[in-house]
Amino acid sequence: MHKYRLQDMSWMEAEEALRRCDTVIVPVGTLHAHGPTPIGIDARSVEALADRVGAETGLVVLPLQAYGENDKMKAYPGSITIRADVIEAVYTDICRSLRANGIRRVIFLNGHGGNHEPLLRAGRTAREFGVLAAIVEWGHIERALLPDQYAEGNFTSWVALAELAVAVAVDGVQIADLRPGVYKGEWGSSPRVTRPLGEDITPLGFSTFAFAGAEVTVPMDAWDIDVESGPEIAPHELDGLRRRGEAIMERQTRFIAAFARAFQKVDLSKALGTAARGQPVAPTAGATEGKPAQA
């Protein structure tokens, strides 16, 4: 089997791998608070998923981009945030460099919702120089695959516990911080605004609020919105949570690998159309457009 992690390859092996297939996987995350869950789960989850998908499909997997957009969580200790315009430029330059290597399709495995808009803008720019980008977010996929399980409850009940489950599945139950006390940071029973906005404007989560049956946006930090709560999981429940996390990882690996195979079959001449100002997108010399990866 060929190497699939770019960081493990020599430049000669990289040249061979990037000629075999025009599609790569790029995991992207960030560092911020998640209650008792490690601050790196948004990065660690997609790093582990990318590795599993790479092993199954043979697609080249780039090293994790662990730093991302994080403005709303910047008040929490340990949070690292990169300005949205800067991280967008980083994503764009990754695509630009890959294009120079003959790559035409990039699958971003995104573990952090705040990265979505910078990724979307970077993907639109990348399309202009001949790269088709896809943004795949396992949390949204998980909710869609198991609608009954995630139909009820708040943010914590489906995202935060799922992230903790993945964390202990990937790195062991000792990774959870279940000390007695209170927790905040994408954790808690329900969102609460500590700076009142009035009886008629009710929080939905982070910067989104409900008014008269519609959703509005008020840019407030998560620190101002999150309610304090206990860990909501006992130490003896961690093994069961680990099994749940393993099931999530297996389910997501199958889904993302299937998407990657389908993505490689996309007709680039139709998907990319023309570049900026209506100029045709010229293929890179030596690129193997549409050729599937060989494990």
pLDDT in tens, 130-184: 999 999 999 999 989 988 776 655 545 678 889 999 999 999 999 999 988 788 8
How many Cα atoms occupy the beta-carbon half-sphere of 280 within 13 Å?
A: 4
Task: Record the tokens describing residue 64, joined without a space.
Answer: 């994790």
pLDDT digits (tens, 9 = 90+) for 232-270: 788 999 999 999 999 999 999 999 999 999 999 999 999
* Pairing between β-strand 208-211 and β-strand 214-217 as defined by DSSP bridges: antiparallel
Query: Is residue 47 predicted with pLDDT exceeding 50?
Result: yes
Q: Report, in angstroms and rounded to the nearest whole number, the Rg of the chain calculated over CA atoms.
A: 20
- State the pTM of this model: 0.89
Share of the chain above pLDDT 90, in %: 66
The better pLDDT of the pair 206, 80 is held by 80
Task: Give pLDDT, residue 223.
Answer: 82
Residue-averaged pLDDT of the chain: 88
SS3 165: helix
Contacts of 182 (CB under 8 A, 6+ apart): 228, 229, 230
Task: Give pLDDT, residue 187.
Answer: 83
Task: Give pLDDT, residue 293.
Answer: 57
Task: Give pLDDT, residue 292.
Answer: 54
- Provide the 10 A C-beta neighbour count for residue 217: 10
Query: Is residue 51 predicted with pLDDT exceeding 90?
Result: yes
- Compute CA 132 distance to the chain's CA centroid, rounded to the nearest angstrom: 17
Share of the chain above pLDDT 70, in %: 87
- Provide the 10 A C-beta neighbour count for residue 248: 23
Name the residue ranges covered by the structural domains of the chain: 6-176+245-278
Task: Give pLDDT, residue 281.
Answer: 45
pLDDT-derived band at 9, boundaries 50, 70, 90: very high
In angstroms, how far apart are the furthest CA atoms of the chain?
Answer: 64
User: Residues 145, 55, 88, 282: is their CA dihedral positive or negative?
Assistant: negative
Closest CA to 131 of 272, 274, 259: 272
Task: Give pLDDT, residue 164.
Answer: 94
SS3 104: coil
Give the residue-averaged pLDDT of 215-229. 85
Terminal alpha carbon distance of the chain: 6
Task: Give pLDDT, residue 124.
Answer: 97
Query: Is residue 284 predicted with pLDDT exceeding 80?
Result: no
Strand partners, 17: none
Task: Give pLDDT, residue 288.
Answer: 45
Task: Give pLDDT, residue 194.
Answer: 72
CATH topology of domain 6-176+245-278: Rossmann fold (3.40.50)
Element (H, E) at 211: strand 208-211
pLDDT digits (tens, 9 = 90+) for 175-214: 999 988 788 888 876 666 777 788 899 887 778 889 999 9
Task: Give pLDDT, residue 231.
Answer: 78
Task: Give pLDDT, residue 191.
Answer: 63
**Which CA distances in Å does 18 have to 103, 124, 217, 256?**
7, 22, 43, 20
